[in-house]
């Protein structure tokens, strides 16, 4: 399983929210690039970069942060937040993103999202499947749709999606453990899926639990920033 640290950006700074609530924001670093370099030095290969300003504005806002990280590290960055148009998508790839995550757009404009899949392929376009009570949540989790999580993922897997980042919003930022049973259920429904689990990781044993069920990657956010999991532990996990 790949360790994928998360850097969430508001006003160019590294922050974390709790359950997607912008009113519950905590700043951790002024320079996301320095944070990214620490991950790189620990042997980590991938980074999950989220433009929270972009998610709210429905357009990319923090493109410069993406560009700096991609220029000054060798990390493979998957980028999300505010990618609502083909112009945004092209800008993210031009800035150096290895993959781009589309969540709200996949729910609201499936025709456009499918066109991205057809052009760029399932290795570069990640489906973001964020869920509240097993229903798809969109617009930075500010809205919950009537779309069933499993049906949403299964239908896109049939259309060529290979990677899915799934966040259980109820777990995010609470440090109470990930939704292991939900992820296991998703993998049973779509066995070949490269599932990236996000939300709730609070300890090294949580990472082991996710690895045991066969997810492709585990996103680590608040647990690292709140020192529940150390950089050394992440490095140990990467080394196996």
How does residue 9 score in pLDDT terms, banded at 50, 70 and 90?
very high
Pick from 77-81, 130-134, 162-166, 218-222: least confident: 130-134
CA distance 107 to 13: 28
> Phi and psi at residue 9, in whole multiples of 5°?
-115, 130
Tally Cβ neighbours within 10 Å of residue 116.
19
Residue 38 has pLDDT above 90, yes or no: yes
DSSP three-state, residue 67: helix
Pairing outcome for strands 194-198 and 135-138: unpaired
Q: Per-residue pLDDT averaged across 156-176, rounded?
A: 89
pLDDT value of residue 229: 96
- CATH number reported for the structural domain that contains residue 155 in this entry: 3.20.20.70
pLDDT value of residue 27: 95
How does residue 135 score in pLDDT terms, banded at 50, 70 and 90?
very high
pLDDT value of residue 140: 64
How does residue 24 score in pLDDT terms, banded at 50, 70 and 90?
confident
pTM: 0.94
pLDDT value of residue 154: 98
Q: What is the pLDDT of residues 141-156, one digit of tens each?
A: 677 889 999 999 999 9
Query: Which of 206, 236, 238, 240 lies closest to 222 in space, CA to CA?
Result: 206
Residues of the chain with pLDDT > 90, as a percent, come to 85
Q: What is the pLDDT of residues 82-120, one digit of tens each?
A: 999 999 999 999 999 999 999 989 999 999 999 999 999
Provide the residue range defining the domain that includes 177: 2-239
Mean pLDDT estimate for the chain: 94
User: Is 53 labeled as catalytic in the residue annotation?
Assistant: no
Residue 4 has pLDDT above 90, yes or no: yes
Choice among 130, 168, 172, 206 that is catalytic: 130
Q: Per-residue pLDDT averaged across 215-230, rounded?
A: 96
User: Is 236 labeled as catalytic in the residue annotation?
Assistant: no
Is the pLDDT higher at 141 or at 28? Answer: 28
Domain count of the fold of the chain: 1
pLDDT value of residue 138: 83
Tally Cβ neighbours within 10 Å of residue 23.
6
Residue 67 has pLDDT above 70, yes or no: yes
**Taking the CA of residue 78 as centre, how many other CA atoms within 13 Å lie in the half-sphere pointing to its CB?**
23
């Amino acid at each position: 399983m790949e360790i994928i640290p998360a850097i969430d950006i508001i006003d160019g700074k590294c922050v974390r929210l709790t359950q997607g609530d912008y009113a519950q924001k905590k700043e951790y670093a002024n320079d996301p690039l320095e944070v990214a370099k620490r991950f790189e030095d620990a042997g980590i290969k991938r980074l999950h970069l989220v433009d929270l300003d972009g998610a709210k504005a429905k357009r990319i806002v923090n493109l410069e942060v993406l560009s700096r990280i991609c220029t000054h590290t060798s990390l493979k960055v998957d980028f999300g937040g505010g990618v609502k148009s083909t112009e945004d998508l092209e800008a993210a790839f031009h800035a150096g993103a290895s993959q781009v995550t589309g969540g709200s757009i996949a729910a609201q404009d499936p025709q456009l999202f499918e066109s991205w899949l057809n052009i760029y392929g399932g290795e570069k376009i990640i489906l973001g499947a964020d869920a509240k009570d097993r229903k798809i949540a969109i617009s930075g989790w500010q809205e919950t749709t009537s779309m069933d999580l499993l049906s949403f993922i299964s239908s896109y897997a049939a259309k060529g999606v290979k990677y899915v980042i799934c966040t259980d919003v109820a777990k995010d930022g609470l440090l109470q453990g990930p939704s292991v049973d939900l992820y296991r259920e998703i993998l049973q429904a779509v066995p070949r899926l490269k599932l990236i689990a996000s939300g709730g990781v609070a300890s090294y044993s949580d990472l082991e639990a996710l690895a045991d069920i066969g997810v492709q990657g585990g996103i680590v956010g608040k647990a690292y920033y709140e020192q529940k999991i150390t950089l050394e532990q992440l490095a140990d996990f990467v080394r196996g």
